[in-house]
Amino acid sequence: MSSNECIHIKGARQHNLKNLTLDIPRNKLVVVCGPSGSGKSTLAFDIVYAEGQRRYVESLSAYARQFLPQMDKPDIDNIEGLTPAISLEQQTTSKNPRSTVGTVTEVYDFLRVFYARLGTMYCPKCGRPIVAQSMDEIIEKIAAMPEKTRFLLLAPQVEQKKGTHAKLFKSLLGEGFVRVRVNGDVFPLETPPELDKKKKHTIELVVDRLVVKEGMRKRLADSVELALKFGSGRLSVVQVGGEHDGESTLYSSDAVCPECNISLPPLTPQLFSFNSPQGACPKCSGIGSVEYFEPALIAPNQGLSLEQGAVIPWKNPKIFSRYKAGLTTLGEKYGFTVSTPLKDMSEEARRVLFEGDKDLKWKGVLKILGTGMQFGSIWRDELSRFRQSRPCPACQGARLRPESLAARVADKNIDEFTRMSIRKSLEWLSALEFEAHQKLIAGPLLKELTHRLHFLVNVGLDYLSLARNMSTLSGGEAQRIRLAGQLGSGLVGVTYVLDEPSIGLHPRDNDRLLKTLRDLQGRGNTVLVVEHDDKTIENADHVLELGPGSGWLGGELVYEGDVPGLLKAKDSLTGKYLRGDLKIDQPETRREAQGHITLRNVRTNNLQGLDLALPLGCLSVVTGVSGSGKSSLVVDSLYKHIALARGTKVDNPGQLDGIDGIDAIERVVSIDQTPIGRTPRSNPATYTKIFDEIRKIFSTTKEARARGYKPGRFSFNVKGGRCESCRGDGYKRVEMHFLPDVFVKCDVCKGKRYNHETLEVKYKGKNIHEVLDMTVREAALFFENYPVLKRRLAILEDVGLGYLRLGQPATTLSGGEAQRIKISRELGKRSLPGTLYILDEPTTGLHMHEVGKLIAVLQRLVDRGASVLVIEHNTDVVRSADWVIDLGPGGGEHGGRIVAQGTPEQIAANPDSVTGSFL
């Protein structure tokens, strides 16, 4: 194929790729599959995407390039036909509390303009609509009063303020005015009243006295202009005589409530931005939540007394001695001593202990700890573990100031709109009706809003709301949100590189995702997808399978061609599973529960007051369509409440009436997909403690003993043996200004982390850098004479990570790899009974062949006495469970109920279960 028809790659040797030459058809849906570590991400991201980005930077002017580092060319001979590349990786989501679904997809930007141009202000106090009026509109309304109506035209000066205001009277007289109205009475400015400075007064300037009649319009116009000038955009009309004597009407060229006299700012897009001072709630600065000290975290063990350290921050005797006298005095009044266990104190005594007693000048534990937050970063970090976040009491989590929330389109303010599900938002927008002059403004905005919301629906995210914080989403959801954002951009002629977009999707929702990928491709883009999902592979135009194994056993092109050819390929591991030649064995029997944890009336997010008895001593799986409430039930409700009961800091635990049976759980562990570290300094060897043993081995070598090197010499975290240029990172972070930051290899140690002297020490012919560069599988053979190391490395291989390099930076690991590293560390522990493990989609990043290995590992955890609870869509995992809980029937408000529960066989036989139909 020519370079116009394909991306031609010649001699790819990056990482473990073995001099590959291949073609990727352009403007097609191309799937790259194969075992973990076979080189899929290397091909897709480290070659196609990285070279696309490098060429983009090279295309910039010399002036722009001087601010950017030289980007390394991938290890390839040549690549032709490459178009600009955009990557959408499967990674854990943003931790920025300001990132929401609305801001990331840019829907919120259009929404702010929509409310600024089409919103109507309503008074926050009385609820009446407020519209700013032009001078002509004000003149028209005054002139429309009945003929012969006498009135005063006033310019407000002071409203309910204390003082004599003598300077104001003198200033107004100097401007040439004659009269002033003070507290409802008119006085000449030459002899103004003497006011009591301790009382509040209202002062209005009398600009004119008029009668409604023919020919008064010019004089009225001049007087209105003058009144607006001296009244700072406001004036009032007070009728004199007649049946409406004394009746006052307030007019404003700004938005002002005439009833409550509240002035509101003009509607601008900035007013609706929680990242702008004009719009952000002043209490929480636009974050929507505030942190507070939680008594349950400060004093988790109610059986201890104050003297015994019940209040954890005061456990140190020196710190406790500062407050002992105050606590003793408090105890004399409320009937306790410092030796009384907290559980034996009265409810009132516990309340004043934490909240304080003004009479005794006892500030309370919460206030004292709050003061401690000001004593420097070390003390502040220590105290932060006793704090929780909760919705801001001022804005109730809306993030915006009251003036921003006072604007409405139809019946909703911007916060109410963003809290609706995306599907409901679309329905609401389609039902809006506007007046003729508003339709011209609304048309383009509605088109953009509905387009972008439809993209979110098409990627299976219709159950989310625009206000949903990005940090609460799974990696799969976050990637599909970025995918929806790309659909909204309308780019053509681009190579999109995606990493497992089907993650987190129920089999029912896969069709919509495939349609989205086809839409992207149909616009004239090349869509290159790293994927394990059988349905996505079967719908591809072209398949590239790498393998046959992982790490150094992979890196070869096993198959290249269309799907019918893949199904016939004898050497293809993927083909064998798609044909049915290979399949994952299911257990012949199901375990019986060894007790239960019972949750009562769970109402977290969209959960509709459900009751659940979760079996212990079993492998349990929670499944259901996207947005049905799986994470709300398992993570927000079950995990967070057990963790809170064990004294662990958690944010926003779910709503429920009670949870029973947690005494059987000594430890709850959530094994999620968050990174094992946030810098290249963290790696699998350090996280699993393997590196500690390796450093000990190197310190016992003959050369190390002769030089006096201790294990610390072989650490890249401390001075001595590390390279000081990069401080042991091996890489340097470079700010790219208008591109994401990148890590470039250290030019002193060439990425080896250590100085020359340290690298001279060798064990069995290898230095410390060369050992860290080994794969887990290679290291297991290298250290086979060390039982502790051999056992830990074998566990890493059991969870399908034999291909990982020991020193591989945490920043390069996928969410699925990070999760399996955490599983391996847990498997390395001696005692597991009484432990509950919670895993969210552990099959992420696993080939069908490796899913079987993972299931075996989970079964091992249960066989050793643990309880395992998994959120999963993979049907092989569901079939392997002892107990299945299927939520649904739909997503968002249409979910939140238990549709079916029982053994996999019972779920498959249940006609109400969507999951059952796929089993």
Q: Which residue has the higher pLDDT, 772 or 372?
A: 772
Question: Would the pLDDT of 93 be above 60?
Answer: no
Say which CATH number the domain at 222 has.
Answer: 3.30.190.20
Least confident span in 42-56, 180-194, 673-687, 713-727: 673-687
CATH number of the domain within which 375 lies: 1.10.8
Residues 533 and 596 in one domain: no
Quick one: pLDDT band at residue 58, thresholds 50, 70, 90? Answer: confident
The reply to whether 752 and 797 lie within a common domain is: yes
Specify the pLDDT at position 500. Answer: 85
Give the model's pLDDT for residue 380. 72
Is residue 459 in some structural domain? no
Q: What is the mean pLDDT of the chain?
A: 88
> Can you tell me the distance from the alpha carbon of 45 to that of 14, in angstroms, rounded to the nearest whole number?
11
pLDDT at 90 (0 to 100) = 58
Residue 412 falls within a domain, yes or no?
no
Residue 606 CA to residue 642 CA, distance in Å, equals: 20
Asked whether residue 415 is assigned to any structural domain, the reply reads: no
Considering only residues 557 and 809, tell me which one the structure prediction assigns the higher pLDDT.
557
What is the structure's pLDDT at 69?
Answer: 67
- Which of 221-235, 441-455, 477-491, 517-531 is predicted least confidently? 477-491
Least confident of 220-229, 508-517, 595-604: 508-517
Q: Residues with Cβ < 8 Å from 602, sequence gap 6 or more?
A: 609, 610, 611, 612, 633, 637, 654, 655, 656
What pLDDT shows up at residue 740? 58
Q: Given pLDDT bands bounded at 50, 70 and 90, which one contains residue 159?
A: confident
The answer to whether residues 782 and 832 belong to one domain is no
The pLDDT score that the predictor gives to residue 206 is: 94
Question: 132-141 contacts: CB < 8 A, separation 24 or more?
Answer: 132/252, 132/253, 132/254, 132/255, 132/266, 133/251, 133/252, 133/253, 134/253, 135/221, 135/224, 135/225, 135/228, 135/253, 138/224, 138/228, 138/235, 138/251, 138/253, 139/217, 139/220, 139/221, 139/224, 141/251
Stretch among 117-126, 173-182, 656-665, 676-685 having the lowest mean pLDDT: 676-685
pLDDT in tens, 726-771: 888 887 877 665 555 666 888 899 889 899 999 999 999 999 999 9
Which whole number is the average pLDDT over 108-137? Answer: 87
pLDDT at 735: 67
Q: Tokens 């940090």 — which residue?
A: 471
Instruction: Examine the domain organization and report whether 73 and 142 are in the same domain.
Output: no
Position 739 scores a pLDDT of 58
CATH label of the domain that carries residue 666: 3.40.50.300
Whether 249 and 149 map to the same domain: the answer is: yes
Q: Domain ends where: 226, 253, 280?
A: 253
Mean pLDDT of 380-408: 87
The predicted structure's pLDDT at residue 615: 96
Q: Are residues 753 and 844 in the same domain?
A: no
Q: What is the pTM of this model?
A: 0.71
Which of 579, 598, 618 terminates a domain? The answer is: 579
pLDDT in tens, 782-828: 999 999 999 999 999 888 788 888 998 887 776 667 888 998 888 88
* Whether pLDDT at 92 is above 60: no
Same domain, 690 and 669: no
Domain span at residue 531 reads: 6-93+473-579
Is residue 619 very low, low, confident or very high in pLDDT (cuts 50, 70, 90)?
A: very high
Residue 644 shares a structural domain with residue 706: no
Mean pLDDT for 722-729 is 88
Tell me, yes or no, whether 327 and 225 share the same domain. Answer: no
Task: Give the length of the chain.
Answer: 919
Which residue, among 752, 755, 757, 769, has the nearest Cα to 695 in the 3D structure?
769
Asked if residue 114 belongs to a domain, the reply is no
| Model confidence band, residue 868 (pLDDT cutoffs 50, 70, 90) | very high
Check whether residue 563 and residue 479 sit in a common domain: yes
Domain finish residue from 545, 579, 613: 579
Tell me: do 878 and 783 sit in the same domain.
no
- The winner for highest mean pLDDT among 257-261, 560-564, 679-683 is 560-564
Residue 276 in any domain: the answer is no
Q: Is residue 338 part of a domain?
A: yes
Tell me: pLDDT of 89 over 80.
no
**What angle do helix axes 347-355 and 317-334 make, rounded to 10 degrees?**
130
On whether residue 468 sits in a domain, the answer given is no
- Residue type for position 536: T
Whether 853 maps to a domain, the answer reads yes
Residues 530 and 514 in one domain: yes
What is the tally of structural domains in the chain?
5
Say which amino acid occupies 159.
E
- Is residue 96 very low, low, confident or very high in pLDDT (cuts 50, 70, 90)? confident
